[in-house]
């Protein structure tokens, strides 16, 4: 009898082992195989949320097939305590392994809604966007200019969301005055900015912020980033450039920034000014004259008058020799790089060509022919022609 009991016990033990092994294999398969979700979805992890609550949410949303297996796998891998709050995009068919990696990796949220306050040269706007998980693209919900419009109700409703993300984006070529004026209008920032930062000292870029962040601290971050970019690129500059310091290069970079919106032209434009400086020629560039008229406070909104081209100011490069005393805008990294590593060209002149770019020339005769073509284009467009000729 005892022999039969022992045999039956052993048989049961072996059966249980087989069952356990089968369950373990099934659990591993469920944990690592593609999940049940047919379309991408957003997963929100609340601050301080437990693994248990998150796993139940994932199961209820159909993102994972079994909350218990997810918790066991998370604990076994040691990632169970590494949840990072935020909103994350989980792709269709993501396995539990992949889902766990997404919600524990941290970093910037990849799903949900955000507000981008964009400060441009001619205007500024606040854009509320929401990610469409199906297309993995942000869809604009509402946009408004805070200097002209009251915040729409959709925006006011959205700001109650504690998970709403914010960023401030500076366009290349904005002036420091423009940046400060716009930052003072941001309802999601706090604190005062006591003085306008030095022209050229702010890095055009996109900055993540949190509601309630200090405006002055954000300006300091912009200055720190620009100083870092300038130092890095100055160390990698081409030899024999006609700049006595990195500050002079920054002045030139701001001119290049304002002269062309075509990325491929930056190094050519920079080469023209480098060639002029080497030959002792005046820079003769309209954007510096405009800065002397506006002091960087907004855009001119019209063509330059001939009297303004003749007026002597520290920024009128048709009158002064060499560079103006300060930058005329905040140049981006690519314009600084172009200024410090310009193309090697013989060009001395350039003028707009009607396509958004410029026609470059070596001789005055070539340049004058290009100017005639540009004047004809201006006449067709109904312009008055009273603007300085770039690089004349």
Let me know whether 203 and 291 are in one domain. no
Let me know whether 278 and 350 are in one domain. yes
Let me know whether 255 and 339 are in one domain. yes
Let me know whether 297 and 321 are in one domain. yes
Let me know whether 128 and 59 are in one domain. no
How many domains in the chain? 3
Would residue 390 count as lying in a domain? Answer: no
d(Cα 196, Cα 186) in Å, to the nearest integer? 16
> How high is the mean pLDDT in each 10-residue block of the chain (392 residues)?
56 59 57 74 76 82 81 75 74 80 70 88 90 79 87 86 86 96 92 95 94 95 97 95 96 95 91 95 93 88 84 92 95 96 93 85 89 83 48 44
Q: Is 188 exposed, middle or buried (0-12, 13-18, 19+ CB in 10 A)?
A: middle
**Residue 283 structure tokens:** 């820079």
Let me know whether 79 and 151 are in one domain. no
Contact predicate 27/69, CB 8 Å? yes
Angle at which helices 246-259 and 266-278 cross, to 10°: 130
Let me know whether 277 and 187 are in one domain. no
**Residue 135 structure tokens:** 């297309």
- The range of the structural domain enclosing residue 59 comes to 27-105
Q: Write down which residue in 39, 73, 105 finishes a domain.
A: 105
Let me know whether 158 and 271 are in one domain. no
Closest by CA to 257, choosing from 279, 226, 281, is 226
Let me know whether 270 and 374 are in one domain. yes
Q: Distance from CA of residue 244 to its chain's centroid?
A: 31
pLDDT at 385: 42
Contact predicate 87/76, CB 8 Å? no
**Residue 8 structure tokens:** 């039956």
Task: Give the CATH number for residue 91.
Answer: 3.30.1490.480
The residue behind tokens 């690129």 is: 233
Contact predicate 42/88, CB 8 Å? yes
Q: Which residues contact 41 (CB under 8 A, 6 or more apart)?
A: 61, 63, 89, 90, 133
**Residue 244 structure tokens:** 């006595």
Report the SS3 class of residue 303.
coil
Closest by CA to 291, choosing from 323, 332, 253, 327, is 327
Let me know whether 139 and 199 are in one domain. yes
Report the SS3 class of residue 364.
helix
């Amino acid at each position: 009898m005892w022999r039969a009991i022992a045999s039956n016990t052993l048989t049961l033990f072996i059966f249980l082992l087989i069952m356990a092994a089968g369950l373990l294999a099934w659990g591993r398969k469920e944990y690592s195989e593609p999940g049940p979700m047919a379309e991408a979805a957003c997963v929100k992890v609340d601050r301080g949320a437990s693994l248990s609550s998150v796993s139940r949410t994932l199961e209820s949303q159909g993102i994972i097939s079994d909350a218990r297996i997810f918790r066991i796998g998370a604990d076994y891998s040691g990632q169970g305590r590494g949840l990072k709050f935020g909103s994350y995009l989980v792709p269709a068919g993501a396995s539990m392994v992949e889902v766990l990696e997404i919600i524990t990796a941290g970093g910037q949220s990849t799903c949900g809604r955000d507000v981008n306050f964009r400060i441009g040269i001619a205007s500024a706007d606040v854009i509320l966007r929401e990610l469409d998980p199906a297309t993995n693209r942000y869809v604009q919900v509402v946009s408004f200019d805070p200097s002209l419009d009251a915040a729409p109700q959709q925006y006011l409703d959205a700001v109650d969301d504690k998970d709403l993300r914010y960023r401030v984006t500076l366009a290349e070529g904005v002036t420091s005055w423009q940046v400060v004026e716009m930052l003072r209008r941001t309802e999601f920032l706090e604190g005062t900015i006591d003085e306008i930062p030095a022209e050229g000292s702010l890095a055009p870029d996109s900055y993540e912020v949190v509601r309630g962040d200090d405006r002055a601290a954000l300006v300091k971050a912009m200055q720190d980033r620009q100083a870092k970019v300038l130092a890095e690129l100055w160390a990698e500059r081409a030899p024999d450039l006609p700049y006595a310091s990195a500050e002079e290069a920054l002045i030139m970079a701001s001119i290049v920034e304002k002269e062309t919106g075509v990325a491929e032209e930056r190094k050519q434009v920079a080469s023209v000014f480098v060639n002029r400086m080497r030959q002792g020629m005046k820079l003769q560039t309209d954007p510096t004259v405009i800065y002397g008229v506006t002091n960087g406070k907004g855009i001119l909104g019209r063509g330059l008058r001939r009297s303004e081209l003749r007026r002597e100011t520290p920024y009128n490069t048709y009158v002064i020799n060499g560079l103006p005393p300060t930058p005329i805008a905040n140049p981006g990294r690519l314009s600084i790089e172009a200024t410090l590593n310009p193309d090697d060209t013989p060009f001395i002149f350039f003028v707009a060509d009607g396509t958004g770019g410029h026609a470059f020339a070596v001789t005055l005769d070539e340049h004058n022919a290009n100017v005639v073509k540009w004047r004809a284009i201006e006449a067709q467009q109904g312009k008055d022609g009273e603007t300085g000729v770039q690089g004349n």
